Every structure is written in structure tokens, then in C-alpha cells.
Amino acid sequence: MQPSIQWYPGHIAKYERQLGELLKLVDVVVMVVDCRIPLATTNPRLARKIGDKPTLMILNKSDLGDMIQNRRWLKSMTTDTQKAMLYDAKSAQGKAQLVQQIQILGEATMQKMIARGRKRRPIRVLVAGMPNVGKSTLINSIVGRKKTKTGHRAGVTRSTQWVRIHSEVELMDTPGVIPPVLDSPLAGAFLATVSSIGDAAFDEEEIARFLIETIEGLYPGLLCQYFKLTEGQSLSLESIAEARNYKLASKHGPHTLDLLRTAQALLTDFRHARMGRITLEHAQNHPSAEREQEPLTQPEQTEVPTAEGE
Ligand SMILES: Nc1nc2c(ncn2[C@@H]2O[C@H](COP(=O)(O)OP(=O)(O)OP(=O)(O)O)[C@@H](O)[C@H]2O)c(=O)[nH]1
Ligand SMILES: [Mg+2]
């Protein structure tokens, strides 16, 4: 099941029109993706506009992603021409390394400027990515203060904002950008699972059913165990509603299952990784993941991974 979804608010269109000019002002782009769906949160339109500007890929929310998959995605996204890093903007672990990488990427431009007789200025960085991937949180994590507005829904940042890290680096927070037309219904469904598109753009029951199907395919048995389904119950939104006893009150006749409440509970639990670290796009399913380059950073994670069959 692949629900069809479109969502393209006005503030995104406005920002996209400014993007060409903004890119002329910056030396480096920090491209943030959600490590649980790194392909669905990569916006090819944005990547095309950024062109060959030095770019650091950030696989953010690494605290929520399956650790084996985190490592695979890091490896596949690190190439001779592209640096990549896993990051957890909530804990800010690794922020010194992040700033260091930005400085390394920006230094070539600085040196060219100095060679042309111009005074050194702070490296200017545009923080880009899809909605809700954690761009503003990443900036706050580096500054150590809540300088930018953040929130769990898509579309919190509606205009650009400069934030100075220190005398050498300035970051620009930007609105999340989603393509006006998504490549496939599957991409839209993935974005909905992590709230990268507005709630009003999708049907929560439909997305919850998609999520059940996807998680069961990648982590068989995990949901049955989490929701404590009995052996006789086959996994579905209905059986989860029954297990949770989510029912609509009815004065007359039998109670009916509250499927909306069940869908919302399932989505919330997934978004907070309460059922374990789950990655919905698995690197092994993508040819890009087979590359063998050495990663820029080794993930500093020690917990036991949750993926089946690894
Ligand atoms: N667990 C976890 N949550 C994160 C991380 N980074 C961001 N978040 C949460 O993700 C949500 C979105 O974060 P924002 O920083 O507002 O995302 P954004 O990319 O700026 O979103 P827009 O401004 O809407 O484009 C917030 O609830 C953050 O607390 C992370 O690394 N780990
Ligand atoms: Mg933001």
C-alpha cells in the first residue's frame, strides 16, 4: 500500500525562489537528512541547486536509527567528493567534529579570498534539508542555546536566520524544502511516518498501516512483541487496537475499534523509537550502499542493534 501525498506550503515556494541568491552568499552547505529514511529525505531539486558547493551530509537523528543501518548509510554516503557524518542533534555529541568538518570544507574558499587580497571573514554555512529533519535543532546544538525555533511538526522554520557560532563560523537556518511533486507515493508515505510533511496532508490510518507493513518486512516479529499480540492474533491495525483495548464508546450495540487513536499511538511510538531503533530504508536494498569507501567518522554507538538477520 502506497498512499498518494502532496504538500507544498507557500513559505517553501518563497524560500526556493530565494535559494539561488542565498547560495551565492555561502561557502559550505550542511545537508541534513533523517537517518531512518536517508533517501526519502534527500531532495534532488535541492541537491541540483546546490551543485558543486562544498557539502557536508549529516545523517541526523542517529539516536533513533538502527545502528547497523546507520553505519551502512554512513559508508554509502561517504565518497571521494562527499563527506558525511552521523549526528544526534538532541545530545549534540560530536558537535566539535561537525564544526571542524565545516571549517575544513570552508578553508579552500577562505584561502582563495585571502590570495585575492581580501580580509578573512567567518565561513558562511547554509543548513539545508527536508522539513523536520532537525536543521534548527542541529544549529542550537552547536551554539549550545535555543537560538532557532524547533518543533515536532514539519514547517516550523518559515524564513531564513543567521546564527553566529563563533568568530569563524556563521550558520544560516532555512525552511525545510520538499519537492512540489514527489517522485513516488512511497516517498510521501516515508516522509509522513517521520512527520516530514504536514499532518493534514495524509491519512494517519493509511500511514500507520504502511508503517506496520514496512516494519514487519524489515524487523519481523518486532511489532507483535511490542504490542504483546497473542499467538492467535495476526498483525494489523485492528489487532493492535484490540491489544491496546482502544475502543470507541457506544451506548447501543457492540464497541467498535478506535483505529484513529491506534494509528496515532503507533506513529508516536515509532517517531520516539519506543519500539526500538528502526530504519525504514535499508542500505542493503540500495546499490549505493555497496560501495566500500572508508567512512569519515565511526559511529560511537555501543548498544545491541535491533535489525533481524544481521
Ligand atoms: N531524537 C532526536 N530528535 C531530534 C534530533 N534532531 C531534531 N530532533 C527533533 O526533531 C524535531 C524537528 O526538529 P527541528 O530542528 O525543528 O527540524 P527542522 O529541520 O528545523 O524542521 P523545519 O523547520 O520544519 O524544516 C524536533 O522535535 C526535534 O526535537 C535528533 O538528532 N534526535
Ligand atoms: Mg527548522
**What's the pLDDT score for residue 2?**
61
- On whether the CB atoms of residues 70 and 33 are closer than 8 A, the answer is no
Q: At residue 254, does pLDDT exceed 90?
A: no
**What's the pLDDT score for residue 46?**
92
Cβ-count burial 202-220 (b if 16+ within 10 Å, e if not): bebbbbbbbbbebbeebbe
Q: Give the Å distance between the CA of 110 and the centre of ligand 1.
A: 31
Q: At what angle do helices 204-218 and 259-271 cross, to 10 degrees?
A: 50
**Mutate which of 60, 127, 132, 269 for ligand 1 pocket (most atoms within 8 A of beta carbon):** 132
- 179: closest CA among 153, 159, 197, 192? 197
Q: Which ligand is nearest to the CA of 161?
A: 2
Exposed/middle/buried for residue 179 (C-beta within 10 Å: 0-12, 13-18, 19+): middle
**What's the pLDDT score for residue 270?**
98
Q: At residue 305, does pLDDT exceed 50?
A: no
Residue/partner pairs of 198-204 with CB below 8 Å, 24 or more apart: 198/7, 198/9, 198/153, 198/154, 198/155, 199/153, 201/5, 201/6, 201/7, 202/3, 202/5, 203/3, 204/260, 204/263, 204/264, 204/267
CA distances (Å), origin 283, targets 64, 66, 213, 248, 286: 16, 11, 18, 40, 5
Q: What is the mean pLDDT of the chain?
A: 90
pLDDT tens-digit readout, 149-158: 999 999 999 9
Tell the residue nearest (CA) to atom 13 of ligand 1: 134
- Alpha-carbon torsion angle 118, 120, 121, 124, nearest 10: 90
Is the pTM value of this prediction over 0.75?
A: yes
Q: Give the Å distance between the CA of 184 and the centre of ligand 1.
A: 24
Tell the residue nearest (CA) to atom 8 of ligand 1: 134
Tell the residue nearest (CA) to atom 32 of ligand 1: 61
Residue with cell 544560516: 172
Q: Which ligand is nearest to the CA of 15?
A: 1
List ligand 1's pocket residues with C-beta within 6 A: 60-61, 63-64, 88-90, 129, 131-137, 150-152, 154-157, 175-176
DSSP bridge pairs for 201: none
Q: At residue 4, does pLDDT exceed 90?
A: no
Q: Please give the distance of CA 238 from its chain centroid, rounded to a whole number.
A: 29
All structural domains of the chain: 10-182 (3.40.50.300), 185-271 (1.10.1580.10)
**What's the pLDDT score for residue 61?**
98
Q: What is the mean pLDDT of residues 82-108?
A: 96
Q: Give the Å distance between the CA of 261 and the centre of ligand 2.
A: 28
**What proportion of the chain, given as a percentage, has pLDDT over 70?**
90
- The pLDDT confidence band at residue 127, using thresholds 50, 70 and 90, is very high
* Grid cell of 188 as nine digits: 510521501
**What's the pLDDT score for residue 199?**
87
* Position 164, amino acid: R
Instruction: Give the integer Cα–Cα distance in Å for 171 and 163.
Output: 5
- On whether the CB atoms of residues 209 and 272 are closer than 8 A, the answer is no
**What's the pLDDT score for residue 286?**
58
**Could you give phi then psi for residue 236, rounded to 5 degrees?**
-165, 170
Q: Are strands 247-248 and 83-86 parallel, antiparallel or unpaired?
A: unpaired
Q: What is the mean pLDDT of residues 83-97?
A: 96
Q: At residue 293, does pLDDT exceed 70?
A: no
- On whether the CB atoms of residues 215 and 276 are closer than 8 A, the answer is no
